[in-house]
Structure 1
Amino acid sequence: MILYLLRRLFLLLFVFIALTILAFSLGYLFPGEPLQNFTGLRHIPVNQLEQLSAEYRMDQGYIQQYLGYLTRVISGDWGMSFASEQGLLQEIKRLLPATLELAAYALLISFFIGIPVGIIAAIKPEGAVSKIISALAVTGYSIPIFWWALLLIMIFSLGLGWLPTAGRIGVLFEINHVTGFMLLDILLSDTQHQHEAMLNALRHMLLPTLVLATFPTTVMIRFTRDSMLEVWEQSYIKTARAKGLSRAQVLYRHALRNALLPVIRQIGLQFSTLITLAMITEVIFSWPGIGRWMIDSIYQRNYPAIQAGLLVISTLVITVNMITEILHTLFNPLARKR
Structure 2
Amino acid sequence: MRILGRFGILFSLTLLVLAILSFALAYLFPGDVLTNLTGIVPQNDAHRELLIQKHRLDEAYFFQFVHYLTEMLQGNWGYSFASGLSLKEEIGLALPATIELAFYAMFIAIVIGLPVGCYAGLKSYTAADYSINSVSMVGYSFPVFWLALLFILLFSLELNIAPLSGRISLLFDVPDKTGFILIDILLAENIDTSLALRDAFHHLLLPTLALSVISTASMIRMTRRSVIDVLNRPYITAARSRGLSRWQTFSRHILRNALLPVLPLLAIQITSLITNAMIVETLFSWPGIGNWLIQAIYQRDYPALRVGMLAVATVVIMLTITIDLFNRLIDPSRDKYERATV
Q: Is the partner of 1:168 in helix, strand or coil?
A: coil
Q: Alpha-carbon deviation of 1:81?
A: 0.5
Contact residue 268 and residue 317 of structure 1 kept, 8 A: no
AA in 1 matched with 2:129? S
Q: Is the partner of 2:257 in helix, strand or coil?
A: helix
Q: Which residue of 2 aligns with 1:309?
A: 308
**CA shift in 2, pair 1:192/1:307, >3 Å:** closer
Q: Is the partner of 1:41 in helix, strand or coil?
A: coil
Q: Which residue of 2 aligns with 1:335?
A: 334
Contact residue 163 and residue 207 of structure 1 kept, 8 A: yes
Q: Alpha-carbon deviation of 1:284?
A: 0.5
Q: Alpha-carbon deviation of 1:43?
A: 4.6
* TM-superposition CA deviations, 1:37-59 (whole Å, max 9, x none): 01102454222111111111111
Q: Which residue of 1 aligns with 2:9?
A: 10
**CA shift in 2, pair 1:86/1:192, >3 Å:** closer
Partners in 1 of 2:117 and 2:135 — Cα distance? 12
Q: Is the partner of 1:236 in helix, strand or coil?
A: helix
**Structure 1 residues 22-31 or 151-160, which shifts more?**
151-160
AA in 2 matched with 1:194? T
Partners in 1 of 2:282 and 2:4 — Cα distance? 38
Q: TM-score, structure 2 length as denominator?
A: 0.96
Partners in 2 of 1:191 and 1:142 — Cα distance? 45
What is the number of residues matched between the two proteins? 337
Q: Alpha-carbon deviation of 1:300?
A: 1.4
Q: Which residue of 2 aligns with 1:70?
A: 69
Partners in 2 of 1:300 and 1:103 — Cα distance? 26
**Structure 1 residues 34-43 or 128-137, which shifts more?**
34-43
Q: Which residue of 2 aligns with 1:325?
A: 324
* TM-superposition CA deviations, 1:177-214 (whole Å, max 9, x none): 11111111111122341111110000000100000111
* TM-superposition CA deviations, 1:246-299 (whole Å, max 9, x none): 222211111101111222223322111111011110010000011100111112
Q: Which residue of 2 aligns with 1:191?
A: 190
Q: Which residue of 1 aligns with 2:130?
A: 131
Partners in 1 of 2:272 and 2:304 — Cα distance? 22
Q: TM-score, structure 1 length as denominator?
A: 0.97
**CA shift in 2, pair 1:254/1:73, >3 Å:** same
**Structure 1 residues 4-13 or 261-270, which shifts more?**
261-270
Partners in 2 of 1:241 and 1:191 — Cα distance? 61
Q: Is the partner of 2:173 in helix, strand or coil?
A: coil
* TM-superposition CA deviations, 1:81-129 (whole Å, max 9, x none): 0111111011011111111111110010000011011001101211111
C-alpha RMSD over aligned residues: 1.1
Contact residue 19 and residue 310 of structure 2 kept, 8 A: yes
Q: Alpha-carbon deviation of 1:238?
A: 1.0
**Structure 1 residues 36-45 or 273-282, which shifts more?**
36-45
Partners in 2 of 1:111 and 1:269 — Cα distance? 14
Partners in 1 of 2:42 and 2:284 — Cα distance? 34
AA in 2 matched with 1:126? Y
Instruction: Give yes or no for the alignment of 1:94 onto 2:93.
Output: yes
After the TM superposition, which residues 238-253 of structure 1 pair with which residues of structure 2 at under 5 Å, given as runs?
238-253=237-252
Residue identity over aligned pairs, in percent, reads 45
Partners in 2 of 1:270 and 1:322 — Cα distance? 13
Q: Alpha-carbon deviation of 1:336?
A: 4.3
**Structure 1 residues 119-128 or 183-192, which shifts more?**
183-192
Partners in 2 of 1:34 and 1:205 — Cα distance? 40
Structure 2 gaps, min length 5? 338-342
Partners in 1 of 2:260 and 2:43 — Cα distance? 55
Q: Which residue of 1 aligns with 2:264?
A: 265
Partners in 1 of 2:254 and 2:75 — Cα distance? 48
Partners in 2 of 1:13 and 1:207 — Cα distance? 37
Q: Alpha-carbon deviation of 1:3?
A: 1.4
Partners in 2 of 1:113 and 1:32 — Cα distance? 49
AA in 2 matched with 1:162? I
Q: Which residue of 2 aligns with 1:232?
A: 231
Contact residue 262 and residue 328 of structure 1 kept, 8 A: no
